[in-house]
């Protein structure tokens, strides 16, 4: 459990006599509130990939997360203040992650642990991986590394504590959960053929309309030169006729046709060469056997005679 040290709360404006430092604190409400929150953060108990092993190591006895008052990892989002996103966020998993985040009560914080959670890591742009959890949730602290060491995670947690220390109850931007009315839940992404962010629905609809009209669409403007190239690729191609050794080859792709022609030529050359070699070997073995053909007939009597002569020596 976090150690209770009243000196952390002292305000420099109101000096407290030395002999009373351990018993009396004159401080502001914000400071007291922040101190109590940051000294008893309960992280949510869940891990996504290899980074989670380092998170577990951080909670174990060697690194001892309890020094920060964070040893109580909760298996329920309703009792958690901190979501440590430790590992690769796949498109399938981002849906329950956002749902769990919505179920956490305010004030709540998110720590992206490792390269994967921060920006996709080694799997960035992968067909099934989200390029960082910050595309869906507000991240407070990023811890770099693949995986980050327990020391790095502790450093990230201390950075989060410092961030909480800097918040003020008087500033609604710092503590929006005290605002008027219920907080808006973060829209939960939809998993279809690909992941869909409901916040981008208008943009997706606009792009779909453009696509239906056959117009170019996309987030970035396509340069004119690229557009020309695209149109040229779409235009139907005439199938080139390529004369090859075996006849005429028809191909959709000129490169493929050239490759085919090359292969045919090489085959023909090989055939011609092997024919010449066979002829040459027949000439070398002359006189040709009476039976004809390239192969000499097996003469059993001659072979036995040879063996006998060898043995006699």
- Distant-in-sequence, close-in-space partners of 51: CB < 8 Å, separation ≥ 6: 86, 87, 113, 114, 116, 117, 147, 148
Residue with smaller CB distance to ligand SF4, 84 or 257? 84
Of 117-176, which residues contact ligand SF4 (CB under 6 A)?
121-122, 146-147
Q: Which of 9, 16, 25, 51 binds ligand SF4 (CB under 6 A)?
A: 51
- From the CB of 140, what's the least distance to ligand SF4, in Å? 18
* Closest approach of ligand SF4 to the CB of residue 10, in Å: 40
The minimum distance between CB 115 and ligand SF4, in angstroms, equals 4
Size of the site for ligand SF4 (CB under 6 A): 12
In angstroms, the CA 203 to CA 83 distance is: 30
Which of 47-55, 187-195, 223-231, 298-306 is the region at the interface with ligand SF4 (rule: CB under 6 A)? 47-55
Q: Which residue has the tokens 């201390």?
A: 158
Q: Minimal CA–CA distance to 161: which of 313, 39, 252, 26?
A: 39
Which residue, 94 or 261, has its beta carbon nearer to ligand SF4? 94
Among positions 6, 45, 50, 258, the unique one binding ligand SF4 when judged by CB under 6 A: 50
Distance between start and end Cα atoms, the chain: 99
Residue 65 or 115 with smaller CB distance to ligand SF4: 115
Instruction: Compute how many other C-beta atoms are within 10 angstroms of the C-beta atom of residue 138.
Output: 11
Q: Which of residues 278-307 bind ligand SF4 (CB under 6 A)?
A: none
3-state secondary structure at position 302:
helix
Q: Would you count residue 114 as binding ligand SF4 (CB under 6 A)? A: yes
Q: At what angle do helices 150-165 and 51-59 cross, to 10 degrees?
A: 70
Q: What backbone phi and psi angles, to 5 degrees, belong to 306?
A: -65, -45
DSSP string, 214-262: T----SSPPPHHHHHHHHHHHSPPPPPEEEETTEEEE-SSHHHHHHHHH
Q: Which is nearer to ligand SF4, 69 or 132 (CB)?
A: 132
Angle at 41 between CA 188 and CA 167, to 5 degrees: 85
Would you say 50 or 72 has its CB closer to ligand SF4? 50
Helix, coil or strand: residue 305: helix
Binding to ligand SF4 by CB under 6 A, coded x per residue (else -) over 6-45, reads: ----------------------------------------
- Closest CB to ligand SF4 among 93 and 164? 93
**3-class SS of residue 15:** coil
* 35 or 46: CB nearest ligand SF4: 46
Q: Which of 16, 65, 89, 115 binds ligand SF4 (CB under 6 A)?
A: 115
Question: How buried is residue 7: exposed, middle or buried, by Cβ count under 10 Å (0-12/13-18/19+)?
Answer: exposed
The residue from 34, 58, 88, 90 that contacts ligand SF4 (CB under 6 A) is 88
Binding-site ranges for ligand SF4 (CB under 6 A) = 49-51, 87-88, 114-116, 121-122, 146-147
């Amino acid at each position: 459990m976090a150690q209770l040290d009243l000196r952390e709360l002292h305000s420099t404006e109101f000096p407290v006599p030395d002999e009373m430092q351990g018993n009396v604190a004159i401080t502001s409400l914000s400071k007291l509130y922040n101190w109590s929150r940051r000294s008893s953060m309960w992280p949510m108990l869940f891990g996504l990939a290899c980074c989670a092993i380092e998170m577990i190591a951080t909670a174990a006895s060697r690194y001892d997360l309890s020094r920060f008052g964070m040893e109580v990892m909760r298996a329920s989002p309703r009792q958690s203040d901190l979501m440590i996103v430790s590992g690769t966020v796949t498109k399938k998993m981002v849906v329950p992650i956002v749902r769990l985040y919505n179920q956490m009560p305010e004030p709540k914080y998110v720590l992206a642990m490792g390269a994967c959670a921060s920006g996709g890591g080694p799997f960035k742009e992968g067909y099934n991986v989200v390029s960082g959890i910050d595309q869906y949730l507000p991240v407070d602290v990023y811890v770099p590394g693949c995986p980050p060491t327990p020391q790095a995670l502790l450093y990230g947690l201390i950075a989060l504590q410092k961030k909480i220390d800097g918040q003020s109850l008087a500033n609604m931007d710092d503590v929006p959960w005290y605002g008027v009315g219920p907080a808006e839940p973060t829209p939960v992404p939809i998993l279809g053929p690909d992941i869909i962010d409901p916040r981008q629905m208008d943009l997706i609809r606009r792009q779909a309309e453009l696509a239906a009209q056959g117009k170019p669409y996309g987030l970035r403007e396509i340069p004119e030169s690229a557009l020309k190239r695209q149109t040229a690729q779409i235009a139907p191609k005439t199938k080139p006729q390529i004369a090859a050794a075996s006849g005429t080859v028809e191909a959709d792709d000129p490169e493929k046709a050239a490759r085919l022609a090359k292969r045919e030529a090489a085959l023909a050359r090989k055939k011609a060469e092997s024919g010449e070699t066979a002829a040459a070997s027949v000439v070398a073995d002359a006189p040709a056997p009476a039976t004809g053909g390239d192969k000499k007939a097996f003469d059993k009597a001659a072979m036995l005679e040879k063996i006998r002569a060898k043995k006699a020596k």
